[in-house]
Amino acid sequence: MATTNVDRIDDFEELFHHKLAQMYYAEQELVETMDEMAINATNERMSEGFADHRDETRTHVQRLEDVFAALDQPAERRENPVVDALEQERMTLEDAINDDDMLDMAYLNAAMMTERIEMTAYEGLTTMANKIGYDDEIKKPLKSNHDEEESAYRELSAMETASDMKSLWDRLTPS
């Protein structure tokens, strides 16, 4: 279970911990999301991309556990309303869209949005870690996760314009 209520946050260390716990929840939820999108996507390249990033996301969870360990704190999940909203939207679209190609494109956009949110979250954590003066044991795993979100975003973005997607776009675009 994720903690829902937030006690007072009075300093950067507490804010860092709060955001870290939210990210720990997010990464765990995203393993499931990536897995479901890998299964549901009909485009092979997209499905493989989601499966690859699902495996990377499992490593993101482990790296966050390393950060908690470096802080000498137990790993804690805190509800992340941003990730919950993305999940809600995904389910809404799955119910609303019948066309497989159209659903693939909705997944692609959702995944790109997710990667940008993750990147920004890790940038925020890194900024706080620098201000607090945390060492590399804490900062390195955050950077490794950030860099993998960034390369996942780039791959998705390349997919959006790839030639093998052209026939799919053409079919979906009214002529």
Site for Fe ion, rule CB under 5 A = 27, 57, 60, 115, 118, 149
CB of 84 to Fe ion, least distance (A): 16
CB of 173 to Fe ion, least distance (A): 28
Q: How far apart are CA 174 and CA 95, in angstroms?
A: 22
Of the pair 69, 117, the CB lying nearest Fe ion is at 117
Full 3-state SS string of the chain: CCECCCCCCCCHHHHHHHHHHHHHHHHHHHHHHHHHHHHHCCCHHHHHHHHHHHHHHHHHHHHHHHHHHHCCCCCCCECCHHHHHHHHHHHHHHHHCCCHHHHHHHHHHHHHHHHHHHHHHHHHHHHHHHHHCCCHHHHHHHHHHHHHHHHHHHHHHHHHHCHHHHHHHHHHCCC
Of the pair 104, 149, the CB lying nearest Fe ion is at 149
Q: How far apart are CA 52 and CA 16, in angstroms?
A: 29
Of the pair 17, 60, the CB lying nearest Fe ion is at 60
CB of 102 to Fe ion, least distance (A): 23
Of the pair 87, 115, the CB lying nearest Fe ion is at 115
CB of 115 to Fe ion, least distance (A): 5
Of the pair 27, 29, the CB lying nearest Fe ion is at 27
Residue nearest Fe ion, Cβ-based: 60
CB of 144 to Fe ion, least distance (A): 10
